Amino acid sequence: MDLFRPTELGIYCKNILLASGVDADCAQAVVEVLLDADLTGVSTHGVSRMSIYMERLAKGLVSKRNNIKIEREGPSSVVIDAGNTLGAPSARFAMETCIKKAAETGCCFATVKRSNHFGTAAFYTKLAAKQGMIGFACTNLTGKIAPFGSADPFLGTNPISVAVPSNGKPVVLDMTPSVAALGKLILAQKLGQSIPLGWALDRDGKPTTDPAEGRKGSLIPIGGPKGSGIAIMVEILSGILSGAGCAPQLHDLYEFDAPQGVGHFMGAIDISHFLALDVFKTAVSDMIVQIKGLRKAEGVSEILMPGERGLTCAEANAQNGIQLPDSVYQELLDLGRPYGLSL
């Protein structure tokens, strides 16, 4: 594995996208989302996704243009049609619109339809937290989780994120309602690795350590009916409310029959409309101190807040560089070669 400076890696990936004909603003949004994932240690959603993005672009399944349009809006709401634009610029536009409107009205929520894979949900909620707001983001995907009590996959892995500012690092929840994110199975398969028991079931409903078989079967929801319930609610917000449709009506990122057509639901809450921002941030910071000061469970060296490990990882990776597996590095080289680009 080699280390790469984030700036160097970002420029290379952006140049690949630009050389292929992708709109400049869209290319920049994609690169920022992918790099943020690698910086925070979520390599499953980092530049390792460049290969599948480029393949879908080349097959005409994702638009290289920026087709994002607001269909209608109110003081605290916005309905967006992504027009099959790349997921990252579509989701970013939605969150930035929510932030702008929330500054005026106190809160704003947006639905997005006809979009694509948008990377990590935390990237967008952190945009709100940086502006002194609470950010919320979720998205639906093709059916990979069997609802509790069912043997058939129906629900997407449907990630959900909430980010809250403090006087220090924000508190950032970013989770899927499955025991493991689908991206972990994808990366394990790419690296020729097995997965732990308890992550997935094969097509016959039996536990498996083979990521390929797990991708053909279903992922296991966290906490049984609790994880299943979260996935259902995200499906309603991202799929039904947006008009994108439920998981069975969507298309898989790794299949090439049609555009994905996924939906997003995003929002921003301007804290200052409810409580003085400095008072809120101080209260959150005090709570963090209290939690970290609690008696530690056996074997625990530090009590971590949601997102803390990733934010700490980002600081180290920004300074030391991003480590790429050899297989991902080779993929990036292969993507740049037709355009005379080298990393």
Here the CATH number for the domain that contains residue 126 is 3.30.1370.60
> 118: domain range?
2-178+221-272+326-339
Per-residue pLDDT at 50? 98
Single pTM value for the model: 0.93
Q: Kindly state whether residue 214 falls inside one of the protein's structural domains.
A: yes
Predicted local confidence at residue 65, as pLDDT: 98
pLDDT at position 245 is: 96
Instruction: Based on the fold, state whether residues 80 and 137 are members of the same structural domain.
Output: yes
Residue 191 pLDDT: 87
Q: What is the mean pLDDT of residues 213-219?
A: 90
Mean pLDDT of 93-114: 98
- Is residue 321 situated within a structural domain? no
Question: Is 205 in the same domain as 68?
Answer: no
Residue with the larger pLDDT of the pair 118 and 202: 118
In order of 45, 140, 174, the CA distances from 309 in angstroms are 16, 25, 12
- The pLDDT of residue 152: 83
Phi and psi for 128 in degrees, rounded to 5?
A: -70, -45
What is the pLDDT confidence band of residue 205, given thresholds at 50, 70 and 90? confident
The average pLDDT across 53-58 equals 98
Residue 339 pLDDT > 80, yes or no? yes
If you average pLDDT over residues 246-265, what whole number do you get? 96
What does the alpha-carbon distance between residue 168 and residue 149 come to, in Å, rounded to a whole number?
Answer: 42
Whether residue 189 sits in one domain with residue 169: no
Please tell me whether residues 16 and 110 are part of one structural domain.
yes
Can you tell me the mean pLDDT for 12-21? 98
CATH of the domain at 211: 3.30.60.50
pLDDT of residue 63: 98
Nearest one of 194, 236, 232, 202 to 220, comparing CA atoms: 202
**Using an 8 Å Cβ cutoff, are 122 and 163 in contact?**
yes
Q: List pLDDT tens digits, range 152-189.
A: 889 999 999 999 999 999 999 999 998 888 888 988 99
Band of pLDDT at residue 143, cut at 50, 70 and 90: confident
Stated length of the chain:
343
